[in-house]
Amino acid sequence: RTVWVDDKLYLPVRSGAGSQFRIIENAVPSGTPLEVLEVGDGYTKVRTPKGTEGWVSSQYLSNQPIAADRLRRATQQLEQARSELTSVREQLSAVTEERDNLQNAESSLSNRAGELQEELTRIKNIAADSINLERRNRELREENQKLRNDLEVLTAENERLEASKDSDFMLLGAGLVLGGVLLALLIPMLKPTRKTDNWA
Ligand SMILES: O=[N+]([O-])c1ccc(OS(=O)(=O)O)cc1
């Protein structure tokens, strides 16, 4: 079987810079931050979080936090990044939906604008027609008035002619009567005078 050298160690804090000095704080675990007070030969004088001042073997000290703590921190950051990614994806999805809705709304508004434009054109045409109709109506009324005037003139003329015809008839009648009377007077005169019968 295989075994591995453990990365978890417990460092003794000694009263002096050497393994022969007595331990004044036992088993400071890996990853514990220590304040450096003095650097010696193979040993460093530190202050522990409990406040103990003493010497630890320099070969077990690191200038950066231990891998386990860095991994924990990286894992936390990864989790946070994942949750932010999820949130951003949700926002993206919402924004995409909103954009699609807006595009649909824009498209139907554009269609509506087209319809209204057509409607406007139709109304303008109708208005133009009504202007033409009004002009035509005015022309027809003027023409009507002219025809009425003509009719009046012609009616007057007609009446005048009727009257003159009547008087012509009367003259003709009178002439005929006169002619008749003259004939009645003249005809007996033209007849040969018959001798009166003696034997009567
Ligand atoms: O990890 N060790 O085995 C270990 C660490 C420190 C240590 O401290 S010393 O002062 O006794 O060297 C001894 C042994």
One digit per residue, the tens of pLDDT, for the chain of length 200 reads 998 888 899 999 999 999 999 999 998 999 999 999 999 999 999 999 999 999 999 999 999 999 999 999 999 999 999 999 999 999 999 999 999 999 999 999 999 999 999 999 999 999 889 888 999 999 999 999 999 999 999 999 999 999 999 898 899 999 999 999 999 999 888 877 655 555 54
ipTM score for this prediction = 0.93
Closest of 32, 28, 31 to residue 67, by C-alpha: 31
Q: In whole angstroms, what is the distance from residue 200 CA to residue 190 CA?
A: 25
Q: Whose CA is nearest to atom 11 of ligand 1?
A: 19
Q: In whole angstroms, what is the distance from residue 31 CA to residue 65 CA?
A: 6
The CA distances from residue 178 to 41, 164, 188, in Å, are 182, 21, 16
Question: How far away, in angstroms, is 6 Cα from ligand 1 center?
Answer: 13
Residue 56 exposed, middle or buried by CB count within 10 Å (0-12, 13-18, 19+): buried
Question: How far away, in angstroms, is 156 Cα from ligand 1 center?
Answer: 148
Q: Which atom of ligand 1 is nearest to the CA of 14?
A: 10
Using a 6 Å CB cutoff, which residues line ligand 1? 9, 11-12, 14, 19, 57, 60
Q: Which atom of ligand 1 is nearest to the CA of 18?
A: 10
Buried b (16+ CB within 10 A) or exposed e, 30-55: beeebeeeeeeeebbbbebeeeeebb
Which residue among 57, 59, 62 is best mutated to probe the pocket of ligand 1, counting the most ligand atoms within 8 A of its Cβ? 57
